[in-house]
Amino acid sequence: MDRSMPQGILLAFLAYSAYAVSDASVKLLHGTLSAYEAVFFGALSGVLALPLVRRPGERFSDVFRARRRGMWFLRAGTALTGSVGSVTAFTHLSMAEAFCLLFLMPTFVTILSVLFLREPVGWRRWGAVLMGFVGVLVVLRPGFRELNIGHLGAVVGGLSGAITVVTMRAFGKSETRMSLYGAGLIGPVVGAGLLMLPEFTWPTPMQWVWLLGYGLLMAAGNILVMLASARIPASLVAPAQYSQMIWAIILGWLIFGDHLDPVMALGAAIIILSGIFTFMREKVKMPRGWQRVPPVHPQ
């Protein structure tokens, strides 16, 4: 066995554990700061990762450069909407419920790949898409419970992550890593920075702890995903993101007193199975050039 294989898998699981604790950190703000302010400071923390992202021959100024400007702005925009959507979701929902909806990202990737990349999709992957939507209906139970802005935020976060994945698959080879990573920082820093101004309040010392935990752990997760993707195909990295559901249940119970009711557990299981099935199909059917595209966290 290639010695890099177990290293890559371990790095992938470490990455998604970092993401989960990052999400718990922003939830610990309990909405005391606006989502825009949390996203701004979280993205600003990601700048610290730039020296580790830069490849030989790349310059820091490459974060503002792109061969395809439209792709760069789309990446920046979806980074902003994905971050704001995810923070909103974790603020208003339990961690498990937020992850259930964010895990719709593989389903959205399949649909967008058909619409924009003209990827042929067979009945098995369409079946996985249908399964994912059934799981969401089980979790949401429309007509039996009240929905709030957190549910919308989670769907926006998953859809934004899917757009990022499809964009990177279509144009990622023509861009530098600094450009792709930089767009994911500049969008939230500039966009959220402007949107937070009307309601800006200076964080308290405790709020700084949660903001820095959110941003620095998110940056650590991004770096670990890149390190994992350098050792194993992206199709093997991606399924590790479902370990976040385990973290969500544990952290939700220990920190926030959340309880996973049987209906939500059933919906979560359906969504996770649909996502894993989608990734396994991509491992077989994905064009060779897509095999090493790093997965994207919805934020």
For position 296, what pLDDT does the model report? 55
**pTM, two decimal places:** 0.87
CA separation for the pair 147, 163 (Å, rounded): 24
Placement of tokens 């369409």 in the chain: 126
Per-residue confidence (pLDDT) for residue 281, from 0 to 100: 60
> What's the angle, vertex CA 211, arms to CA 205 and CA 215, rounded to 5?
145
Query: So what's the pLDDT on residue 214?
Result: 93
Distances (CA, A) of 273 to 111, 225, 290: 17, 22, 22
pLDDT at 289: 41
Q: In the chain, what percentage of residues exceed pLDDT 90?
A: 32
Q: Which residue has the higher pLDDT, 293 or 281?
A: 281
67 or 292: whose pLDDT is higher? 67
Mean pLDDT across 3-9: 76
What is the average pLDDT score of the chain? 83
For the stretch 208-228, pLDDT in tens is 999 999 999 988 888 888 778
Average pLDDT over residues 235-243: 73
Region of poorest pLDDT, from 105-109, 218-222, 231-235, 264-268: 231-235
Q: Predicted confidence band at 81 (pLDDT cuts at 50, 70, 90)?
A: very high
What is the pLDDT, as a whole number, of residue 291? 43
| Long-range CB contacts (within 8 A, 24+) of 77-80 | 77/187, 77/191, 78/160, 78/161, 78/163, 78/164, 78/167, 78/187, 79/43, 79/160, 79/164, 79/183, 79/184, 79/185, 79/187, 79/188, 80/39, 80/187, 80/188, 80/191, 80/192
Domain ranges of the chain: 4-290
264-283 residue pLDDT tens: 889 888 887 887 776 666 55
